[in-house]
């Protein structure tokens, strides 16, 4: 493993091995310190609770040292574009930032969200790609414009430890949110669910379709791994027979650069698309999942997130274990 950028860079066997390794790390205390004497940089262009804390703690538990950098905050503002004339507000280029940093550290984790300004550019993950281009140490994606693979691996571990290894009927449902959000989490969840052979249903209103290339990749993974995928805009029928409900809001790609139009477009969708007890009662006793942070009584009702079928805290804990498995393989 050279980098950890998206789950589809790896085959199912490799992902299953990482899950096994994470389960072992979770269940059995170990004196193994694969990061002893090593440092890992964590570069956060955006806020975080779970990713930052679980990476920092995971690196410590593996014997290493985390160096946290916040471009534009605790470190210089960063330019990533080739050939940029840097006479604006960007102080340092990634060409120097990455090549200096890797003289100190054994791997670099990067969080860089979509800004929802330019779909055609952002869908290519330009900042993450620039890190990869300049780095000779491993790059770990801590949520980019298009992918959040560490979250998806924690999600797959959570489904497995809660419901067992057999394939499940999994619903990824769009939910209303007051402002448009990036697509990384739904993209990575759907892709990983397809790679792990689950039967996947993706529910969203018309206008919130995922990226065409990503859908093609999901379909290819479904064909390779024995699952299925279907799409619906019927939020009520979507829950029938489902064993895993995964809720996440995302913005419409046609509204990048005009997010006020997205807010207007979704104005009437709030009531129908919330996850509530009525919808959960249609499922096959489904567990409820969300990557967090979550807006209570907007995305999901208190009754659902506080119910015994909610696994959101286990899901957050599992970030720690899967990331330790990934770091161990990358940095050993
Ligand atoms: N789920 C997740 O990535 O949480 P944070 O944004 O708090 O890191």
Surface-to-core class of residue 19, CB atoms within 10 Å of its CB (0-12 exposed, 13-18 middle, 19+ buried):
buried
pLDDT at 13: 97
Q: Is the pLDDT assigned to residue 14 strictly greater than 90?
A: yes
Q: Is the pLDDT assigned to residue 70 strictly greater than 90?
A: yes
How much distance in Å is there from the Cα of 67 to the middle of ligand 1?
Answer: 18
How much distance in Å is there from the Cα of 148 to the middle of ligand 1?
Answer: 9
**Mean pLDDT calculated for residue range 73-81:** 96
CATH classification for the domain delimited by 151-315, as one of 3.40.640.10, 3.30.300.30, 3.40.50.1370, 3.60.15.10: 3.40.50.1370
Do residues 171 and 203 lie in contact, with contact meaning Cβ atoms separated by under 8 Å? yes
In angstroms, the CA 203 to CA 264 distance is 20
SS3 (DSSP) at 108: strand
Instruction: State the pLDDT confidence band at 1, using cuts at 50, 70 and 90.
Output: confident
Question: Does residue 293 have a cis peptide bond before it, meaning omega lies within 30 degrees of 0?
Answer: yes
Contacts of 27-35 with C-beta under 8 Å, sequence gap 24+, read 32/62, 32/328, 33/62, 33/63, 33/64, 34/62, 34/63, 34/327, 34/328, 34/331, 34/332, 35/59, 35/62, 35/63, 35/64, 35/65, 35/106, 35/327, 35/331
Q: Whose CA is nearest to atom 4 of ligand 1?
A: 50
Q: Is the pLDDT assigned to residue 88 strictly greater than 90?
A: yes
Ligand 1 atom at minimal distance to the Cα of residue 291: 1
How much distance in Å is there from the Cα of 188 to the middle of ligand 1?
Answer: 14
Q: Residue 143: CB within 6 Å of ligand 1? A: yes
List phi, psi (to 5°) of 273: -100, 0
% of the chain exceeding 70 in pLDDT: 100
Q: Is the pLDDT assigned to residue 214 strictly greater than 90?
A: yes
Q: Which residue has the higher pLDDT, 303 or 29?
A: 303
**Mean pLDDT calculated for residue range 244-268:** 96
**Mean pLDDT calculated for residue range 309-330:** 98
Q: Residue 199: CB within 6 Å of ligand 1? A: no
- DSSP alpha helix (H) spans, 145-286: 149-163, 184-195, 212-225, 259-265, 270-273, 277-281
| Segment holding 302, helix H or strand E | helix 302-305
How much distance in Å is there from the Cα of 142 to the middle of ligand 1?
Answer: 9
Q: Is the pLDDT assigned to residue 29 strictly greater than 90?
A: no
pLDDT at 332: 81
Q: Residue 48: CB within 6 Å of ligand 1? A: yes
In angstroms, the CA 100 to CA 102 distance is 6
Where are the domains positioned within the chain?
7-147+318-331, 151-315
7-147+318-331 adopts what CATH topology? Answer: Rossmann fold (3.40.50)
Give pLDDT tens digits for 221-250.
Answer: 999 999 999 999 999 999 999 999 999 999
Q: Is the pLDDT assigned to residue 190 strictly greater than 90?
A: yes
Length of the chain: 332
Q: Whose CA is nearest to atom 3 of ligand 1?
A: 51
Q: Residue 315: CB within 6 Å of ligand 1? A: no
Do residues 312 and 292 lie in contact, with contact meaning Cβ atoms separated by under 8 Å? yes
pLDDT at 277: 98
Q: Whose CA is nearest to atom 6 of ligand 1?
A: 48
Instruction: Tell me the average pLDDT of the chain.
Output: 97
Q: Residue 91: CB within 6 Å of ligand 1? A: no
Q: Residue 50: CB within 6 Å of ligand 1? A: yes
Do 7-147+318-331 and 151-315 agree at the fold level? Answer: yes
In angstroms, the CA 119 to CA 244 distance is 30
pLDDT at 168: 98
């Amino acid at each position: 493993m050279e980098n950890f950028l998206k789950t589809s860079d790896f085959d199912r066997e490799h992902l299953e091995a990482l899950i096994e390794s994470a389960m072992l790390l979770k269940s059995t205390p170990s004196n193994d310190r694969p990061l002893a004497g090593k440092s890992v940089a964590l570069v956060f262009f955006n806020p975080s609770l779970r990713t930052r804390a679980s990476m920092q703690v995971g690196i410590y538990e593996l014997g290493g040292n985390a160096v946290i950098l916040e471009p534009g905050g605790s470190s210089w503002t960063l330019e990533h574009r080739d050939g940029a004339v840097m006479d604006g507000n960007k102080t340092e280029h990634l060409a120097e930032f990455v090549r200096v940093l890797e003289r100190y550290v054994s791997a670099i984790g990067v969080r860089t969200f979509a800004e929802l300004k330019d779909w055609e550019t952002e869908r290519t993950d330009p900042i993450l790609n620039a890190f990869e281009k300049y780095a000779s140490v491993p790059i770990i994606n801590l949520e980019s414009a298009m992918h959040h693979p560490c979250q998806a691996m924690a999600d797959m571990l959570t489904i497995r430890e809660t419901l067992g290894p057999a394939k499940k009927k999994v619903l990824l449902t769009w939910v209303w949110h007051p402002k448009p959000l990036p697509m990384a989490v739904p993209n990575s969840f759907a892709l990983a669910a397809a790679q792990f052979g689950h039967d996947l249903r993706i529910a969203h209103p018309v206008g919130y379709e995922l990226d065409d290339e990503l859908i093609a990749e999901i379909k290819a993974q479904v064909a390779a791994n024995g699952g299925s995928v279907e799409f619906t805009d019927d939020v009520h029928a979507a829950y029938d027979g489902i064993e895993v409900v995964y809720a996440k809001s995302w913005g419409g790609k046609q509204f990048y650069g005009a997010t006020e139009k997205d807010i207007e477009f979704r104005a009437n969708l709030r009531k129908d698309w919330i996850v509530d007890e009525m919808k959960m009662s249609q499922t096959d006793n489904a567990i409820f999942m969300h990557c967090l942070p979550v807006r209570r009584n907007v995305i999901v009702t208190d009754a659902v997130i506080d119910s015994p079928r909610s696994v959101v805290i286990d899901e957050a804990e599992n970030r720690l274990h899967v990331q330790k498995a990934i770091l161990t393989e990358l940095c050993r």
